[in-house]
Amino acid sequence: MKTRSISGLSFVFVLLFSSSWAASAQNHEDFLQCLSLHSQNSTSISQVIYTPNNSSYLPILQFSIQNLRFMSSDTPKPTVIVTPLHESQILTVIKCSRTHGMQIRVRSGGHDYEGLSYVSELPFVILDMINFKSITVDTETSTAWVQSGSTVEAAEMILSPYGGKMDEISEYAIPFPHRAGNLYKIQHLVYWEEEGEMAAERHISWIRRLYSYMAPYVSKFPRAAYINYRDFDVGVNKQGNTSHAQASIWGTKYFKNNFNRLVKVKTMVDPGNFFRNEQSIPPISLWRKKKGD
C-alpha cells in the first residue's frame, strides 16, 4: 500500500516535470524560430546564435566568466547565447525575448561581481557584446566613444573617479554620483583556490566580517557603494515587484539622489519592467499598483 502510493506520487511528479520540460523546450524552439523570422537576414543571424547543441556554446559561455563561483555545473545556463554583429540583431533579440518571456542578460567584459551579466534564475538569453568593441576617439572634441564589448586591456583609459576631471561634471549630470569628498573607493575583494561550497562560505563570511568591521570608518547615511563593485548583500529586487522604498535602500548607495530620477526615467521608458535584474531600477507603477491606487 505504502509502496503504491509512493510510486503513484513519483509518477505524478515525473508527469508534471516532463510536461513542464516539454513546454520549455517548445518555448526555446519558438524563440529560435522567432529570431530567424524577425531578422533581416536569417543566414547571418544563425551564425551568431549558440544553443547547448552547438559545440562552441560552452567555450563561448565560459570565455568571459571572470568569477569562477559562477562557472559550476549547477549555475543556471542561458537557453541561447547571441553574439550580435549588427545593431538590428540586438533589436531582434529584444523583440523575441519579450514575446517569449525570456530574460535578457547583457554581457560586455563579464566582470560583474555577482555574475548578473550571465546568470539568471528565470529562462534567459545572453546578449554577448563581444563583437562590439570599436573605439572612436575624436581629438577635436576630446571625446571617445567606446563600445560596450571593449575591455580595459583594449582601452587602457581607466578613470579615477573621485576629484580630478570628474569633479567638473555635476553629480546630477550622469547616474554615477560619487565625486571629490570621498577619500578613497574601497574594494573588498577575496580570492581563494580551494574548491567547494564550504571553502566559498568560509571566505565570503570572512569578507563580510571585514566589511562590517569597516563600518565606523566609511561613508554613512547611506553607506555608499560603487555599482561596478556590485554587491547583492546591500539588497535585491524580488521578482521585479520590489517597492520603491525597498529599492531605494541599495539604490541610494549606488546613485545617491540620482536614484529617484532614474526611477522616473525607468517609469517613462520601461513601465512594464521588461529589462530587469536583481538590482535594476524599478518603475514607479508597480509599487503604486501594489499600494492599490
Interface contacts to ligand NAG, rule CB under 6 A = 28, 32, 41, 43-44, 46-47, 49-51, 53-54, 239, 241
Nearer residue to ligand NAG within complex by CB, 241 or 260 = 241
Shortest approach of ligand NAG to residue 87 CB, angstroms? 15
Residue nearest ligand NAG by beta-carbon distance: 44
Shortest approach of ligand NAG to residue 113 CB, angstroms? 25
Nearer residue to ligand NAG within complex by CB, 112 or 278 = 278
Find the Cα–Cα–Cα–Cα dihedral 70, 74, 75, 78, rounded to 10°.
Answer: 140
Shortest approach of ligand NAG to residue 79 CB, angstroms? 8
The DSSP line for 98-151 is HHTT-EEEEESS---TT-TTT--SS-EEEEEGGG---EEEETTTTEEEE-TT--
Question: Three cell numbers at 185?
Answer: 573607493
Nearer residue to ligand NAG within complex by CB, 56 or 205 = 56
Strands, E assignment, the chain: 49-50, 80-82, 103-107, 124-128, 135-138, 143-146
Question: Three cell numbers at 232?
Answer: 547583492
Instruction: For residue 44, give the 3-state DSSP assignment.
Output: helix
Nearer residue to ligand NAG within complex by CB, 5 or 53 = 53
87-99 vs 2-37: helix axis angle to the nearest 10?
A: 140
Nearer residue to ligand NAG within complex by CB, 41 or 205 = 41
Which long-range contacts (C-beta less than 8 Å, at least 24 apart) are formed by 180-183? Answer: 182/219, 182/224
Shortest approach of ligand NAG to residue 60 CB, angstroms? 9
Nearer residue to ligand NAG within complex by CB, 25 or 174 = 25
Shortest approach of ligand NAG to residue 240 CB, angstroms? 6
